[in-house]
Structure 1
């Protein structure tokens, strides 16, 4: 069994979840950043994960089981994560005394939903922990396989 694939899958998962944690933290940190007088404001971000493979599920399974020569495939395509601005409307708050208030007294804040961001943050942390557990399990299996091989 090739344990490097298990390590690569867990590492890719940990990297993606770390990115989700960073984005959620950035969104939460800028949730109450007011839009300046010149109209520049923070745009909430989101993590988009894309699969690098295309085709039907059966084709992807066949590609993962054997390569063109009939040997077992040596690597798995890992997903790619990108950070993109979220397309959400700004939140308007009536604060007539605020220095960045418009003529009607409204201040524009980023459209960050703190509850959604906190749930996303907790989910990313738990997923990261699950990937760490999977990597530790694969490491333990690899070490035990070496012990079995050296005992015989």
Structure 2
């Protein structure tokens, strides 16, 4: 595998982790949202990643990266609260809170941040190796 492919792979990893961080930020921003119906209530979202394997010319060379297949909503139950005096309560006096778990989202944020940082370090190491290879050609 060439070092240029390493840069491509780490770039797909950084892009995927960026999507993960954006999704986490959206979840945290809506963690305290309230609605008058279960259908309108914000639900936690998570990106779905898949390894991407491209075989070139007879399967001798492979390039592996990360692909974001999509973002799915959580099917965890919403938090239903009886609050008849709340301005957003439904006809029965209930309000619905988002199913975002703030602790899980914070852990996701830390994990995504570290994975992004690792991909940056991989790209930097590949860049240094390419630079050293060019320096060898000068000597």
TM-score by length of 2: 0.86
Alignment of 1:2-151 (within 5 A): 2-36=2-36, 39-53=39-53, 67-68=57-58, 72-73=60-61, 75-81=62-68, 82-151=70-139
Number of equivalenced pairs: 138
d(CA) in 2 for partners of 1:91, 1:36: 12
8 Å contact kept, 2:36–2:94: no
**How many Å apart are 1:38 and its aligned residue?**
8.8
TM-score by length of 1: 0.79
d(CA) in 2 for partners of 1:37, 1:67: 54
**How many Å apart are 1:83 and its aligned residue?**
1.5
Unpaired segments ≥5 residues, structure 1:
54-59
d(CA) in 2 for partners of 1:128, 1:38: 35
Higher strand share: 2
Moved over 4 A (4+): none
Which deviates further from its counterpart, 44-53 or 125-134?
Answer: 44-53
d(CA) in 2 for partners of 1:49, 1:22: 14
CA RMSD of aligned residues (A): 2.4
